[in-house]
Structure 1
Amino acid sequence: MRLCVDCDKPARPRVGQRGPHPKRCQECHDRYHADRLATVKQRVRTSPPMPRSCCICGTEVPPSRSKRAATCSPECQKTRILRYSRSYYKANPDAWRLSHVARRYGLSAEEYARLVDTAGDRCAICREPQQGKSLAVDHHHDTGVVRGLLCQNCNIMIGMARENPEILRQGAEYLISTAERYTRENPIC
């Protein structure tokens, strides 16, 4: 049996203890840990907080800010978030696009991929190929239902017509009727 390093009494293992025999008896063990805890608490109370500097402007972070805050003010926090989001967007444009589509239109990555495969990288209206460009997600503004993928020009055309098929029909009729009358050889003015 081992003897206590402080008082030379037998140091018996405590109930449920595993591993090697203890260095101290129960009384000395309790006293040692109580003294150690008191010194740690004293050190924490008396030591001044470490000064932290703002990661944006370099000024000292006031103690009133959260202990985890890396910035000195809400303005610097906004700048930090903006810098991070810009760098993330530049590094991961496809992931950003998918998260944008999910947030805005409620489409999962699989549903969006299915739409892109169905469209075949072509606009649903003009059928122009859109290699290297992302197609806009066309949706009904009142119901939010996704209708398909359009190129930027066709998406703007539908928006300018206020999603009214009658306006688009009248515009098509106007273009057809004036195409024969007004040409370069026979201008209006």
Structure 2
Amino acid sequence: MRNRSNLYKTMLYSPPNKRWNEQTADPSKYPQGRFNPKPCRRCSTVFIPKAPSNLYCSQECSDHAWTTAYLKRTYDIDYDHYLSMLAEQSGVCALCGGEGFKMAGHHRLKLVVDHCHKTGRIRGLLCHNCNRALGLLHDDTDVIRKAIGYLEGETSIRKGSGPKRAKAQGPR
């Protein structure tokens, strides 16, 4: 059974259950018998909601708002700042140059925000693999240098000193 904090986190990080165009309610079940026009919380366009809880005029505004809320809560930036960082990096990972990918169906961003865990300073946008690699190496530049040396062949093991293969012997 989930405790309250886990349930709260699930509610915070989960996208809405229904997409904007799927939200519907029966106006006749409400006292006024209709839904009053209201301004979109993102772009201020006046629209007639499909349900009282409908806060955005379109799926685009809804996605933008949910993504901004996540980025603001987690990294203290908004979606427009993320998009400007993405443009500065030409839409690719700062390390490998790949375009990234979405880890799950509810994710909206292909590249993740990489930040220093000690200072909280944002370093750039990385694909999930590069971000995970840095995390697994504890963001330690000495370990990363050793990994580079290892990959380039600067190890203490001489060539040819690996395990010898047993020769197949014929029948006796």
TM-score if structure 1 supplies the norm length?
A: 0.46
* Residue 56 (structure 2) aligns with: none
CA distance in 2, matches of 1:101, 1:187: 51
Contact 2:111 2:128 in 1 (8 A): yes
Rate the CA distance shift 1:146–1:174 in 2: closer, same or farther, 3 A: same
1:95 shift after superposition: 3.4
Say which one has the larger Rg.
1
RMSD: 3.8
8 A contact 2:116–2:122 mirrored in 1: yes
**Higher helix residue share:** 1
**Paired position in structure 1 for 2:93:** 123
Matched, 1:96 2:72: no
Letter of the structure 2 residue corresponding to residue 110 of structure 1: D
* Pair 1:178–1:87, CA change in 2 (3 A): farther
Quick one: which of 84, 87, 95 aligns to 2:18?
87
Instruction: Provide closer, same or farther for how the CA distance between residues 182 and 111 of structure 1 changes in structure 2, counting only shifts above 3 A.
Output: farther
**Any idea what SS the aligned residue of 2:17 has?**
helix
C-alpha contact 1:121 1:131 (8 A) present in aligned 2: no
Q: CA deviation at 1:99?
A: 1.7
Structure 2: where are the runs of 5+ without partners? 23-58, 103-108, 164-172
Amino acid at match of 1:169: R
Q: Which residue of 2 aligns with 1:172?
A: 148
**Match of residue 81 from structure 2:** 111
Q: Give 2:114's aligned residue.
A: 138
SS at match of 1:158: helix
Q: Cα offset for 1:111?
A: 1.6
How many residue pairs were aligned? 109
Maintained 8 Å contact 2:68/2:79:
yes
Among all aligned residue pairs of Structure 1 and Structure 2, give the percentage whose two residues are the same amino acid: 26
User: Is the 2:101–2:111 contact (alpha carbons within 8 Å) kept by the matching residues of 1?
Assistant: no
Q: What's the TM-score once normalised by structure 2's chain length?
A: 0.51
Q: Answer 1 or 2: higher relative contact order, Cα 8 Å, separation at least 6.
A: 2
Query: Matched residues in 2 for 1:187 and 1:154: separation?
Result: 32
